[in-house]
A = this chain, B = another copy of it.
């Protein structure tokens, strides 16, 4: 299938103008550290020396995973739909943090193994009742994968011009196993470096999870192209995020990247369109073993390091104020001239 072409945001003249504007603010050069690189990036994504954020929104994609049959998760599959209910009732961590950060929260059923019926506040894009067990067969067909990608793109297109910064979150029991397999395949990272405790596995259970992935990878050795890897090991929520990310970057939004699973979706998108990384803000380094490795592969510097390992997009909502501060200092601080402060 065709995916949007994403140009690099590189622009030498605009970079120079942005750096001059940043350096003219009343502070020692470079003293706002990562906020200065975020301000530069925001300017480049928006193609202006006066970037602004508006309509910050969070998309949380939920989906189930057949591979839980192999005993790879500490929690039963039913927790996926129960947590979706929790999102709808406003009681989960992402509800609290999105509310605090002023983000509009959208919950999408990408493929949960549960019939929610018609529900206010739930965006139903169910591709199927969870994926198949990839230890036995591909998690989805190429057609299902394409459907998920298209839904993701359409969801972002529907947001229109109402938002220019978009957070990505997920919920899906078993999805650290899917993400680990994708990262192993697409980032050339040893399986041992991709697996972690997820929601709370013991050391033995982590080893078992590694063996499940190892056997599945051997079984599906033909899958090497990004979309094949996605269809073989991914989840409906992961595939839908890939589509949403590609469309968001095409719309020149800034993409807030959360933890391990969201980064696995980004990895697929980046293998299709490498310049997508220009649009991404890496919100945090998660405590899920493996996230650190994939961030390094992507040459990504995360904003926060708070030992989070929750998902749901929580890292995005927590990091948004830092991105906002970067944009705000650029637009609101005085210059040495305007404030009549001596330079060196």
A338 contacts the other chain (CB 8 A): yes
CB <8 Å contact, B91 and A338: yes
For chain A, the count of residues having a C-beta within 8 Å of the partner chain is: 59
Number of copies: 2
CB <8 Å contact, B334 and A89: yes
Q: A78-106 toward B: CB 8 Å interface, digit per residue (1/0)?
A: 11001101100101110111011100000
The answer for the CA separation of A25 and B341 in the assembled complex, in Å, is: 50
CB <8 Å contact, A306 and B34: yes
Q: Which residues of chain B have C-beta atoms less than 8 A from A329's C-beta?
A: 93, 96-97
CB <8 Å contact, B199 and A31: yes
Q: Which residues of chain B have C-beta atoms less than 8 A from A91's C-beta?
A: 26, 332-334, 338-339
The answer for the CA separation of A30 and B198 in the assembled complex, in Å, is: 12
CB <8 Å contact, A318 and B307: no
One of A247-255, A269-277, A320-328 at the interface:
A320-328
Q: Which residues of chain B have C-beta atoms less than 8 A from A289's C-beta?
A: none
Q: Which residues of chain B have C-beta atoms less than 8 A from A342's C-beta?
A: 75-76, 78-79, 82
* Known contacts A79-B341, A100-B325, A344-B200; A307/B27 CB under 8 A: no
Q: Which residues from chain A sit less than 8 Å from chain B, CB to CB? A: 25-35, 74-76, 78-79, 82-83, 85-86, 89, 91-93, 95-97, 99-101, 199-200, 287, 303-310, 314, 318, 321-322, 324-325, 328-329, 332-334, 338-344
